[in-house]
Structure 1
Amino acid sequence: MQKKGLQLNSKIIAILPIAIAVNLACVLIWLLQITDQSMPLILGVIAASLVDLDHRLSGRLKNIFYTLIAFSISSLVTQYFLNQGIWFVLSMTAMTFVFTMIGAVGQRYSTIAFGTLVVSLYTTLAYIPDTPWYINPLMILAGTLLYSVITVTVHLCFPNRPLQEKVSRAFVALGAYLDAKAAFFDPDDIEQLASKQLTLAMKNSQIIQVFNECRTALFYRMRDNHRYSYTSKMCRYYMAAQEIHERANSSHFDYKTLAEQLKNADLIFRIQRLLELQAQACRDIAHALQKAQDYQPQARLERAIQGISQSFELYAQQHQDNSALHHIKTLLDNLHNIHCQLQSLSQPIQTPETRTIYTENITGLRQIVRHIGRHFTFQSQLFRHAMRLSLVVFFCCALVEYFHLQADRGYWILLTIIFVCQPNYSATKLRLKQRIIGTILGVIVGSLLPYMTSTLEAKLAVVVIASTLFYFFRSNNYSFSTFFITIQVLASFDIMGFDLYAALLPRLIDTLIGTALAWFAVSYLWSDWKYLQLDQVSQQVIKSQANYLLHIISHLQFGRGDDLKYRIVRREAHDNATRLSTTISNMNNEPKKYARHLQQGFELLKLNTALLGYISALGAYREQMQKLTQDVLFLSEFYPIAKKIIQLLDSLPSLSAVQFEALFQQIDQGIKNSLAQTNDTPSRAVFNMPMQQLNLMAQLLPPLYHLVQTPTNQDRPNEIRAV
Structure 2
Amino acid sequence: MNYLDEFKKFISSHYLSTGVRLTLGAVIPSLIFQHYGILGDMIAFPLGTLLIGGTDNPGPYHRRRNSLIIAIFTCFAVACITGYLRHIHFVIFLEIIVFGMFFSLVGVYGNRVNSIGLISLLVFVFNIDDHLSGDLVFRTAAIFAAGGIWYFVLFMILQKLLPYKLIQQLLGENFAELGKLLSIKAGYYFANPDYDELFNKMIHQQVILRENHENLREILFKTREIVTESTNKSRVLMLMFLDSIDLFERILNSQQNYTNLHRAFDHTKVLRLFGTYITWLSDEIKQIGLAIQSGFPSHSRHDLDEAFNKCQRAFETMREHKMTHDNMEDFIMLRQILNSLQDVTERIKKLHRATTYDADVSKGYKLNVEAESFIPKQEYHPRILLDNLSLKSSHFRHAVRVTIGLLIGYIISLFLEVGHGYWILLTIVVILKPAFSITKQRNVQRIGGTLVGVFSGFLLLYLINDGTALFIIMMLAMILAYSFLKINYFVASTTITLYVILSFNFLNPQQITAVLQDRVVDTVVGSMIAYVISSYVLPVWEHTQINQYIRDALNANRKYFDVVAAKFTGKQLDINELKMLRKDAIIAMANLSDNFQKMLSEPKRQQLNMEEYHQFVATSHMLTSYIASLSTYAQTLEYSEFSVEFEVMIRQIDRQIKAATDIIEGKSENSFEIARESLPQNMKLVELLAKRKKEIKEMGIEKADQSPARKMLSDLKTINGLFELISTITIDEIKILQKIKPAKT
Q: TM-score range by the shorter chain?
A: 0.7 to 0.9
Q: C-alpha separation between the residues in 1 aligned to 2:130 and 2:365?
A: 52
Shift of 1:50: 1.0
Contact 1:438 1:483 in 2 (8 A): yes
Is residue 2:68 matched to residue 1:64?
yes
Is residue 2:209 matched to residue 1:207?
yes
Contact 1:185 1:269 in 2 (8 A): yes
- Aligned counterpart in structure 2 of residue 288 of structure 1, from 281, 287, 291: 291
- Aligned counterpart in structure 1 of residue 717 of structure 2, from 676, 683, 688: 688
Counterpart residue number, 2:522: 510
Shift of 1:575: 2.0
Counterpart residue number, 1:572: 584
Contact 1:671 1:695 in 2 (8 A): no
Which shows bigger deviation, 556-565 or 84-93?
556-565
Q: C-alpha separation between the residues in 1 aligned to 2:614 and 2:646?
A: 37
Residue by residue, what CA displacement relative to the aligned partner does 1:183-237 show, whole Å, maximum 9, x if unpaired? 2223x316x3343333322232232232223223323434773534333222211
Shift of 1:126: 6.3
Contact 1:44 1:140 in 2 (8 A): yes
Taking a change above 3 Å as real, the CA distance of residues 698 and 130 of structure 1, as seen in their structure-2 partners, is closer
SS in 1 for 2:534: helix
SS in 1 for 2:296: coil
- Aligned counterpart in structure 2 of residue 54 of structure 1, from 49, 58, 62: 58
Taking a change above 3 Å as real, the CA distance of residues 655 and 82 of structure 1, as seen in their structure-2 partners, is closer
- Aligned counterpart in structure 1 of residue 738 of structure 2, from 709, 715, 723: 709
Which shows bigger deviation, 527-536 or 167-176?
527-536
Shift of 1:493: 4.5
Counterpart residue number, 2:424: 413
* Within-5 A mapping of 1:657-676: 659-666=670-677, 668-671=678-681, 673=683, 675-676=685-686
SS in 1 for 2:429: helix
Shift of 1:414: 0.6
Is residue 2:44 matched to residue 1:31?
no
Residue by residue, what CA displacement relative to the aligned partner does 1:309-339 show, whole Å, maximum 9, x if unpaired? 3333344444252124444333322222212
* Within-5 A mapping of 1:409-558: 409-446=420-457, 464-493=475-504, 499-529=511-541, 532-557=544-569
Counterpart residue number, 1:219: 221
Which shows bigger deviation, 585-594 or 169-178?
585-594
- Aligned counterpart in structure 2 of residue 233 of structure 1, from 226, 231, 236: 236
Shift of 1:473: 3.1
Q: C-alpha separation between the residues in 2 aligned to 1:251 and 1:585?
A: 24
Kindly tell me the number of residue pairs found equivalent between the two proteins.
702
Which shows bigger deviation, 632-641 or 41-50?
632-641
Taking a change above 3 Å as real, the CA distance of residues 462 and 307 of structure 1, as seen in their structure-2 partners, is closer
Counterpart residue number, 1:3: none
Taking a change above 3 Å as real, the CA distance of residues 671 and 197 of structure 1, as seen in their structure-2 partners, is farther
Q: TM-score, normalised by structure 1?
A: 0.87
Letter in 2 for 1:196: L
Taking a change above 3 Å as real, the CA distance of residues 39 and 508 of structure 1, as seen in their structure-2 partners, is farther
- Aligned counterpart in structure 1 of residue 161 of structure 2, from 157, 161, 186: 157
- Aligned counterpart in structure 2 of residue 102 of structure 1, from 100, 103, 106: 106
Shift of 1:109: 1.8
Shift of 1:651: 3.0
Letter in 2 for 1:34: I
Taking a change above 3 Å as real, the CA distance of residues 290 and 208 of structure 1, as seen in their structure-2 partners, is same
Q: TM-score, normalised by structure 2?
A: 0.85
Q: C-alpha separation between the residues in 2 aligned to 1:659 and 1:530?
A: 29
- Aligned counterpart in structure 2 of residue 607 of structure 1, from 596, 612, 619: 619
Which shows bigger deviation, 294-303 or 277-286?
294-303
Residue by residue, what CA displacement relative to the aligned partner does 1:488-526 show, whole Å, maximum 9, x if unpaired? 444554555583334433332221111110000111112
Shift of 1:362: 2.7
Taking a change above 3 Å as real, the CA distance of residues 453 and 189 of structure 1, as seen in their structure-2 partners, is closer
Letter in 1 for 2:558: A
Is residue 2:628 matched to residue 1:619?
no
Identical counterparts, % of pairs: 17
Letter in 1 for 2:478: S
Residue by residue, what CA displacement relative to the aligned partner does 1:451-492 show, whole Å, maximum 9, x if unpaired? 789899888767645433422332333233233333444455
Select the structure with the greater relative contact order (CA < 8 A; seq sep ≥ 6).
1
Counterpart residue number, 1:166: 170
Counterpart residue number, 1:352: 365
Taking a change above 3 Å as real, the CA distance of residues 482 and 530 of structure 1, as seen in their structure-2 partners, is closer
Letter in 2 for 1:584: F
Counterpart residue number, 1:340: 346
Contact 1:51 1:115 in 2 (8 A): yes
- Aligned counterpart in structure 2 of residue 184 of structure 1, from 178, 184, 188: 188
Letter in 2 for 1:640: R
SS in 2 for 1:36: coil
Q: C-alpha separation between the residues in 2 aligned to 1:509 and 1:655?
A: 50
Q: C-alpha separation between the residues in 2 aligned to 1:30 and 1:374?
A: 50
Q: C-alpha separation between the residues in 1 aligned to 2:503 and 2:294?
A: 38
Q: C-alpha separation between the residues in 2 aligned to 1:337 and 1:128?
A: 61
Q: C-alpha separation between the residues in 2 aligned to 1:210 and 1:109?
A: 19
- Aligned counterpart in structure 2 of residue 563 of structure 1, from 575, 591, 597: 575
Letter in 1 for 2:398: H
Taking a change above 3 Å as real, the CA distance of residues 398 and 707 of structure 1, as seen in their structure-2 partners, is same
Shift of 1:140: 1.1
Shift of 1:297: 3.0
Counterpart residue number, 2:689: 679
Q: What are the ranges of 5 or more consecutive residues in structure 1 without an aligned counterpart?
A: 1-5
* Within-5 A mapping of 1:83-162: 83-124=87-128, 127-128=131-132, 130-162=134-166
Compute the RMSD of aligned alpha carbons.
Answer: 3.3
Contact 2:543 2:608 in 1 (8 A): no
Contact 1:78 1:124 in 2 (8 A): yes
Contact 1:37 1:139 in 2 (8 A): no
Q: C-alpha separation between the residues in 2 aligned to 1:213 and 1:113?
A: 20
Which shows bigger deviation, 77-86 or 305-314?
305-314
Shift of 1:425: 1.8
- Aligned counterpart in structure 2 of residue 302 of structure 1, from 301, 305, 325: 305
Q: C-alpha separation between the residues in 2 aligned to 1:113 and 1:149?
A: 22
Q: C-alpha separation between the residues in 1 aligned to 2:127 and 2:644?
A: 74
Taking a change above 3 Å as real, the CA distance of residues 226 and 645 of structure 1, as seen in their structure-2 partners, is farther
Taking a change above 3 Å as real, the CA distance of residues 353 and 273 of structure 1, as seen in their structure-2 partners, is farther
Shift of 1:416: 0.7
Residue by residue, what CA displacement relative to the aligned partner does 1:620-643 show, whole Å, maximum 9, x if unpaired? 222123x22355544554443443
Contact 1:459 1:495 in 2 (8 A): no
Counterpart residue number, 1:43: 47
SS in 2 for 1:346: helix
Q: C-alpha separation between the residues in 2 aligned to 1:12 and 1:530?
A: 33
Counterpart residue number, 1:269: 272
- Aligned counterpart in structure 2 of residue 361 of structure 1, from 349, 368, 377: 377
Taking a change above 3 Å as real, the CA distance of residues 681 and 643 of structure 1, as seen in their structure-2 partners, is farther
Residue by residue, what CA displacement relative to the aligned partner does 1:382-406 show, whole Å, maximum 9, x if unpaired? 33222211221233234445x497x
Q: What are the ranges of 5 or more consecutive residues in structure 2 without an aligned counterpart?
A: 1-8, 354-360, 693-708
Q: C-alpha separation between the residues in 2 aligned to 1:277 and 1:460?
A: 44
Contact 1:177 1:207 in 2 (8 A): no
* Within-5 A mapping of 1:375-386: 375-386=388-399
Which shows bigger deviation, 419-428 or 656-665?
656-665
Taking a change above 3 Å as real, the CA distance of residues 479 and 619 of structure 1, as seen in their structure-2 partners, is same
Taking a change above 3 Å as real, the CA distance of residues 544 and 26 of structure 1, as seen in their structure-2 partners, is same
> Displaced runs of 4+ in structure 1, greater than 6 A?
448-462, 655-658
Letter in 1 for 2:381: I
Letter in 2 for 1:312: F
Is residue 2:208 matched to residue 1:195?
no
Contact 1:671 1:691 in 2 (8 A): no
Contact 2:659 2:734 in 1 (8 A): no
Taking a change above 3 Å as real, the CA distance of residues 115 and 564 of structure 1, as seen in their structure-2 partners, is farther
Is residue 2:401 matched to residue 1:395?
no
Is residue 2:263 matched to residue 1:247?
no
Taking a change above 3 Å as real, the CA distance of residues 601 and 591 of structure 1, as seen in their structure-2 partners, is farther
